[in-house]
Amino acid sequence: MKRVVHFTLNGFEVEQEIESHKMLLDLLREKFELTGTKEGCGQGECGACTVLVDGLAVNACLFPALEVEGRSVTTVEGLIGEGGRLHPIQEAFVEAGAVQCGFCMPGMVMSAKALLDETPNPTEEEIRRGISGNLCRCTGYVQIVDAIKLASQKLKGDGRG
């Protein structure tokens, strides 16, 4: 059965018809062609599909599409500024050398955003806990943790966040 869902997507009011059994990940990738959000496992274990719903990090692969009704969804595409300017968190990931194959990166960046919105000056332990739901097979996480520390510094002087 199809239903129409109305919500705010990366700052814009949108509406979209979708089958009621579909997940937010399907809605984003198939209906809106926002392929930045990745499916790594489809079971809520790897975090590659992390997006923000009303500011909270969720696994889009397990989040029913119809439940975003009236809510605000931010995906990795929503962080990009005018002229393709990267968000300070994304800049930090690039500068800290945190990127390898990149498949986990959109989810990792969104988890970092949720963490830093809540805890602007996280300890290393808080960072590790904040991204513990985001698996990465390439990096060993060391430079990702560095990147989030750097992002925290950048955001202090930026006022975006």
Partner 1 sequence: MNEYSFVGKPVPRPDAPDKVAGRALYIHDLKRPGMLYGKIKYSEHAHAKILNIDTSKAERLPGVRAVITAYNTPEVRFGFIRDNIALKKEKVRQFRDEVAAVAAIDPEIAEEALELIKVEYEELPGVFDPEEALKEGAPLIHETDPQGRPKKDNWVPVSWKFNAGDVEEAKKKAKYIAEDYLETPPILHASLGTSGCIAEFDLQGNLIIYTKTQIPFLAQNDFNRALASMGLKGKNTRVIVPTLGGSFGSGLDTHGYEYIAILLAYKTGRPVKIVLDREEESKTLSPRQSTRTKILQGCDENGRLLFREVRMLLDNGAYTSWGATTPSVMMLPISSIYRVPNVFYEARHVYTNNTYCQAMRGYGNPQAAWAIETNLDHLAEEANIDPLDMRLINKNIPDDISPMGLRITTCGMEECLKAVAQKLNWKEKRGKGRNKARGVGIACLFHVGGSGRVYRSDGTGVILKIDDFGYATVVTGAIEMGQGLVAALTVATAEALGVTPDRVMVVTGDTATCPWDVGTHASRGAFTACNAVIMAAQKAREKIFQLAAEHFLNRVNFKLSQMKKKDPNFQIPDLGINRPLEPEDFELKENVLYLRSQPQNKYLRMGLDELIREAHFKEQGTMIITEAFYDPCNQMLDKDTCIGNLSATYIFGAQGAEVEVDLETGHVKILKYVAAHDVGKVLNRHSILGQIYGGAVQGLGFALSEEYKRDKGRMLNPNFLDYKILSANDLSFPIEVELVETMDKEGPFGAKGVGEPGLVAVAPAIANAVYDATGIRINSLPLSPEKIALSVRRLKKE
Rule CB under 8 A: which of 27-46 touch partner 1?
34-43, 45-46
State how far the Cα of 46 lies from the Cα of 42, in Å rounded to an integer.
8
User: Is residue 10 part of the contact set for partner 1 (CB under 8 A)?
Assistant: no
Environment class of 117 (CB within 10 Å of its CB; exposed 0-12, middle 13-18, buried 19+)? middle
User: Is residue 109 part of the contact set for partner 1 (CB under 8 A)?
Assistant: yes
Q: Which of 98, 78, 88, 74 is nearest to 147 (CA)?
A: 98
Environment class of 87 (CB within 10 Å of its CB; exposed 0-12, middle 13-18, buried 19+)? buried
Q: What are phi and psi of 103, to 5 degrees?
A: -65, -35
- Pick from 27, 52, 116, 131: which binds partner 1 (CB under 8 A)? 131
Q: Which stretch binds partner 1 (CB under 8 A): 4-12, 66-74, 85-93, 115-123?
A: 85-93
- Pick from 77, 117, 149, 161: which binds partner 1 (CB under 8 A)? 77
User: Is residue 23 part of the contact set for partner 1 (CB under 8 A)?
Assistant: no
Q: Which stretch binds partner 1 (CB under 8 A): 9-17, 64-72, 92-100, 152-160?
A: 92-100
Query: What tokens were used for 18?
Result: 């979708």
Q: Which residues bind partner 1 (CB under 8 A)?
A: 34-43, 45-46, 48, 75-77, 79-80, 84, 86, 90, 93-97, 99-106, 109, 124-125, 127-129, 131-145
